[in-house]
Amino acid sequence: MNKLGIYIHIPFCVKKCNYCAFLSFKMNDDLKRRYIDALKLEIKERADSKYLVDTIFFGGGTPSLLKPSEIAEILNEITGNFNISKDVEITMEANPDTLNEKNLKGYRNAGINRLSMGVQSLDESLLSVMGRIHNADDVYREYALAREAGFDNINLDIIFAVPASSLETTMDTLEKIIKLNPEHISYYSLQLEEGTSFFKDFKDGKLDEIPDDIDRDMYHRGSNLLQKNNYSRYEISNFSKKGYECKHNLKYWNMDEYLGLGLGSSSYIGGVRLKNTDDINEYINNKYISERHKNTRYDDISEAVFTGLRKAEGVSMKEILGSKEEFWEYYKDSKEEIDSFISEGYLLIKDDRLILTDKGIDISNKIMVCFV
Ligand SMILES: C[S@@+](CC[C@H](N)C(=O)[O-])C[C@H]1O[C@@H](n2cnc3c(N)ncnc32)[C@H](O)[C@@H]1O
Ligand code: SF4
């Protein structure tokens, strides 16, 4: 049976953070009910018995704005309509402000077995710059309560290169996070996204961007610190203890099949990329899919290299094009440029794998262009 990952988008947040462009808005009880009902209908309609679901990911937005009974209701709909693997990984993203002893136990009992908490920083002034609704103590308290509730697979998200941050504040947060000993740490460089409050403030000259060389210094020092503490870097921004890589997110980088359900979600299934509507009114009136694109062989190859190069193990030329020779024949027009990246130490070849070096990560976008 083909394996499948399911992504469920929960588009609600208490308040928009200053840097975030994810599809989310304020919730009210009526809208939440109608959204869950539409989601359940979409699950039924898009169910496919030829798949075995081995990962489920509640992302957002803030899925922890749903009650445990509502998460259980959605999970029941999935288990009632899909074949589910016995060792299914079920992740839920959570904002520390929305967690408490009771709902953490409830989520665990509902079947969530991996918790991903947005921490971003443990520096109070940076949390406030980012517009976060929690403080550092909330993170410590909810993390401890999550352990008590039985979560033995926890990810903490950190963002670095935030305006007004320094190498010192960044390393301090990372050291504190490492002390908490989560199984997984995501360490993201701040992306300046159009439509966010940060974007407007940068444009108006009210905020200064962290210079690129400092951003890169923060990344490499952070990455080294994490690796020294047994967090292996398996993807550019993702670090985990052995055996705790996020199985769901690996599907994106491996071009495995996944079904995205809910507002604005994306799917890659049966060689087709699908995009759901971003319009909440359309969605709650049960019009789900807005874009459909059948991938060509060319799309599949460039996407496999493009996404696969994000992984620390890189990409297998044989898996993508049958053999090393066929790979270079396919990329003969960019071969010269690729060779110069290899000779300058940005890319390396190990057996039949093409891998970005530490230096290569800093210019990954430039390198990836050669493979599109
Ligand atoms: C859906 S949120 C996580 C759960 C919850 N909404 C929260 O923020 O606590 C996903 C993660 O994406 C990261 N993120 C969001 N916007 C980002 C940006 N502009 N640059 C870098 N990372 C970003 C944050 O680390 C965030 O925790
Ligand atoms: S970072 Fe999380 S809490 Fe903040 S706006 Fe984005 S999705 Fe919502």
> Which residue, among 347, 348, 321, 343, has the nearest Cα to 332 in the 3D structure?
321
CATH number, domain containing residue 211:
3.20.20.70
What CA–CA distances, in Å, run from 73 to 26, 66, 69, 215, 244? 21, 10, 6, 42, 27
Tell how far the Cα of 24 is from the centroid of ligand 2, in angstroms. Answer: 8
Tell how far the Cα of 85 is from the centroid of ligand 2, in angstroms. Answer: 30
Whether residue 364 is contained in a domain is answered as yes
Asked if 199 and 304 sit in the same domain, the reply is: no
Asked if 204 and 351 sit in the same domain, the reply is: no
Closest ligand 2 atom, residue 132 Cα: 4
- Check residue 92 and give its pLDDT: 98
CA–CA gap between residue 225 and residue 175 (Å, rounded): 8
Instruction: Grade residue 275 by pLDDT with cuts at 50, 70 and 90.
Output: very high
Closest ligand 1 atom, residue 196 Cα: 19
Question: Beta strand pairing status for 272-276 and 154-160?
Answer: unpaired
- Check residue 174 and give its pLDDT: 98
User: Does 117 sit in the ligand 2 pocket, CB within 6 Å?
Assistant: no
Closest ligand 2 atom, residue 131 Cα: 4
Question: What is the per-residue pLDDT across 139-195, written as a single tens digit (0 to 9) for each?
Answer: 999 999 999 999 999 999 999 999 999 999 999 999 999 999 999 999 999 999 999
Average per-residue pLDDT for the chain: 97
- Check residue 316 and give its pLDDT: 97
Among 7, 17, 22, residue to substitute to test ligand 1 (most atoms within 8 Å of Cβ): 22
Asked if 160 and 309 sit in the same domain, the reply is: no
Question: What is the per-residue pLDDT across 240-271, written as a single tens digit (0 to 9) for each?
Answer: 999 999 999 999 999 999 999 999 999 999 99
**Residues in Cβ contact with 352 at an 8 Å cutoff, skipping those fewer than 6 apart:** 316, 317, 318, 324
Please determine, for residue 19, whether its predicted confidence score (pLDDT) is greater than 90.
Answer: yes
Report whether 241 contacts 183 (CB < 8 A). yes
Tell how far the Cα of 230 is from the centroid of ligand 2, in angstroms. Answer: 28
Question: What is the per-residue pLDDT across 219-238, written as a single tens digit (0 to 9) for each?
Answer: 999 999 999 999 999 999 99
Judged by its nearest atom, the ligand closest to the C-alpha of residue 132 is 2
Tell how far the Cα of 97 is from the centroid of ligand 2, in angstroms. Answer: 11
CA–CA gap between residue 103 and residue 42 (Å, rounded): 26
Whether residue 111 is contained in a domain is answered as yes
- Check residue 105 and give its pLDDT: 98
Asked if 117 and 7 sit in the same domain, the reply is: yes
Q: Choose one of 223, 252, 281: the last residue of a domain.
A: 252
- Check residue 1 and give its pLDDT: 87
Asked if 245 and 301 sit in the same domain, the reply is: no
Whether residue 324 is contained in a domain is answered as yes
CA–CA gap between residue 214 and residue 190 (Å, rounded): 12
Peptide bond into 150 cis (omega under 30): no
Asked if 81 and 182 sit in the same domain, the reply is: yes
Whether residue 220 is contained in a domain is answered as yes
Question: What is the per-residue pLDDT across 57-66, written as a single tens digit (0 to 9) for each?
Answer: 999 999 999 9
Asked if 239 and 349 sit in the same domain, the reply is: no
User: Does 308 sit in the ligand 2 pocket, CB within 6 Å?
Assistant: no
Report whether 261 contacts 43 (CB < 8 A). yes
AA letter at 327: F
Asked if 24 and 145 sit in the same domain, the reply is: yes
Q: How many CB atoms lie within 10 A of CB 117?
A: 23
User: Does 309 sit in the ligand 2 pocket, CB within 6 Å?
Assistant: no
pTM, to two decimals? 0.97
As a whole number, mean pLDDT of residues 296-313 equals 96
Asked if 248 and 326 sit in the same domain, the reply is: no
Please determine, for residue 372, whether its predicted confidence score (pLDDT) is greater than 90.
Answer: no
Tell how far the Cα of 22 is from the centroid of ligand 1, in angstroms. Answer: 8
Asked if 229 and 322 sit in the same domain, the reply is: no
Whether residue 286 is contained in a domain is answered as no
Kindly report the protein residue whose alpha carbon is nearest to atom 8 of ligand 1. 118
Q: Choose one of 252, 284, 307: the last residue of a domain.
A: 252
Asked if 208 and 314 sit in the same domain, the reply is: no
CA–CA gap between residue 303 and residue 316 (Å, rounded): 13
Closest ligand 2 atom, residue 133 Cα: 3
CATH number, domain containing residue 358:
1.10.10.920
Q: Choose one of 196, 223, 252: the last residue of a domain.
A: 252
Question: What is the per-residue pLDDT across 65-107, written as a single tens digit (0 to 9) for each?
Answer: 999 999 999 999 999 999 999 999 999 999 999 999 999 999 9
Tell how far the Cα of 100 is from the centroid of ligand 2, in angstroms. Answer: 18
Asked if 246 and 312 sit in the same domain, the reply is: no
Q: How many CB atoms lie within 10 A of CB 43?
A: 23
Total structural domains within the chain: 2
Whether residue 72 is contained in a domain is answered as yes
Please determine, for residue 13, whether its predicted confidence score (pLDDT) is greater than 90.
Answer: yes
Whether residue 143 is contained in a domain is answered as yes
CA–CA gap between residue 148 and residue 101 (Å, rounded): 8
Question: Residue by residue, what is the 3-state secondary structure of 28-75?
Answer: CHHHHHHHHHHHHHHHHHHCCCCEEEEEEEEEECCHHHCCHHHHHHHH
Judged by its nearest atom, the ligand closest to the C-alpha of residue 188 is 1
Structural domain harbouring 338 = 296-372
Q: What is the CA radius of gyration of the chain?
A: 21
Whether residue 279 is contained in a domain is answered as no
C-alpha dihedral sign at 269, 270, 275, 280:
negative
Rounded to the nearest 10°, the torsion over CA 147, 4, 185, 101 is -20
